[in-house]
Structure 1
């Protein structure tokens, strides 16, 4: 098979996949049928109407994961070694509060890997057409496929870091509000419910989950323990331990939460100073390698030019 034929196959497959995905996502432009118009008014008495009205998200890229399932099952140990075990990925998804399940995230990684392989194969085929070694397309295909899968995992880890940073910034305010509510005479459950109702941040949302679990029958101590284990945030874990101790042994909590809020603010100040120090060092890179050579060149070039012209 010549390079032109291989390039034609790669381009045709890419074009066909792209067109199929676009056609699958185009909404059907037609007049709604009678049952679609009546279904919203009989949701309380008809299970079929509820199924009809329920929104179904169609993802045409899932077929790639279904087709490649036999191969992915055999490569599962290698994938787990490179991209993390299912428990690790599930914990990252929970900490990032991602709507994706583990299976959907693995399917996304597979799709990104296939897209990277297509791009690598296309570039490699072009290189072969221009006279490169036949090993180049294979190497590019492997590298770009692995890069696509690793990129999805890196974006997930980045989302986890950003969310943990937001929780760290919200922690002092939430702790002070809890301490104020407890000092005013409210119980811990009522204080958590008040923070979850008034707050709008990530930590307030997590406390709202705790309150909902407690309202559904789970003990407040178990719900707090589950929150600390799932978030795996040092500050939140310490606060959860103190709250569970107050619930189980009746220890005072308001002063402890105020002290932890102050510790959290001090930690945020230290992190800010550390980040400022790193940025200061990073600012020296363009100064030393960009501005300083340019200044030296502007200072020396006129003298060099005069010496060359004069002599």
Structure 2
């Protein structure tokens, strides 16, 4: 009778595991429909589109479920969405959460391997090692978010570097007789970089029927840089009120170059302070030590 009961319990547990795995692998209605629409524009539903791969077919529903649980626990979706827009990444919030889960699982797996090696020699440390593995998972999740912040800084730095040249090119195109939209298309078509990608999005909104001023206002609200916001606002005001666009572009380029010059001077002043650290804490103590060291015959 004991064997029968144990067999029934084992069979029931196995059936529950199989049923749960099948439910986790079953795609929802949106995923079944969106997989047949590869040309669908990037929307909030786009991350649920399954990738064409065996690994994703097996682990995709599990990873998306873990990403939803992480979203419910971590929160901060508005801040992350804002940073994804500022970094100009073709990722949605769901995609980013999946990447956070992957980073956390990678850190957890690496830490678990080391923990198992240590636990095989010292079984009494199992509980602290388990806590360390959990901390490694959280650290991996936070590292992906820090990586996103670094991507935002790098993208904004590239945009500021390219802004004066793009403004001068637009001023030359407008002075040659082209309209604002035509000048923007010419500059974007012959430019490569972070700012060109931002302007490509603005042109895409204009081609879909949005007014140029509204597309520029949306770009101004989306960006996190004051010079870029002034550039977009100045361009929108020039288009609405008939201000000479070439003069506005030249003035914008001059303002950005002046701001970059001030930032370079401030950075140089900060680096001078950092350069004093090895002098004060390394060179000066060594000099004093040799000065007061007693002479030996």
Specify if TM > 0.5: yes
Taking the aligned partners of 1:63 and 1:292, their CA distance within structure 2 comes to 62
Tell whether the 8 Å contact from 2:167 to 2:250 is kept in structure 1 after alignment: yes
Tell whether the 8 Å contact from 2:67 to 2:98 is kept in structure 1 after alignment: no
Are positions 1:229 and 2:221 aligned together? yes
Tell whether the 8 Å contact from 1:113 to 1:145 is kept in structure 2 after alignment: yes
Residue of structure 2 in register with 1:137 after alignment:
129
Are positions 1:243 and 2:235 aligned together? yes
CA distance 1:169–1:72, shift in 2 (3 Å): closer
Alpha-carbon shift at residue 97 of structure 1 (Å): 2.4
Residue of structure 2 in register with 1:66 after alignment:
61
Alignment of 1:81-100 (within 5 A): 84-85=76-77, 87-100=78-91
User: Matched residue pairs, number?
Assistant: 248
Tell whether the 8 Å contact from 1:221 to 1:244 is kept in structure 2 after alignment: yes
> Unaligned stretches of 5+ in structure 2?
1-35, 40-50
Taking the aligned partners of 2:63 and 2:170, their CA distance within structure 1 comes to 51
Alignment of 1:39-54 (within 5 A): none
Q: Deviations over 1:255-302 (max 9, x none)?
A: 23222221111110111112112222222233333344445556666x
Taking the aligned partners of 1:170 and 1:206, their CA distance within structure 2 comes to 11
Alpha-carbon shift at residue 196 of structure 1 (Å): 1.0
CA distance 1:59–1:152, shift in 2 (3 Å): farther
Are positions 1:114 and 2:105 aligned together? yes
> Unaligned stretches of 5+ in structure 1?
1-46, 51-55
Tell whether the 8 Å contact from 2:172 to 2:246 is kept in structure 1 after alignment: yes
CA distance 1:174–1:144, shift in 2 (3 Å): same
CA distance 1:218–1:152, shift in 2 (3 Å): same
Tell whether the 8 Å contact from 2:168 to 2:250 is kept in structure 1 after alignment: yes
**Which of structure 1's runs of 4+ aligned residues deviate more than 6 A?**
none
Tell whether the 8 Å contact from 1:62 to 1:107 is kept in structure 2 after alignment: no
Aligned to 1:168, which of 139, 146, 160?
160
TM-score scaled by structure 2?
A: 0.71
TM-score scaled by structure 1?
A: 0.68
Bigger Cα displacement from structure 2, 276-285 vs 154-163: 276-285
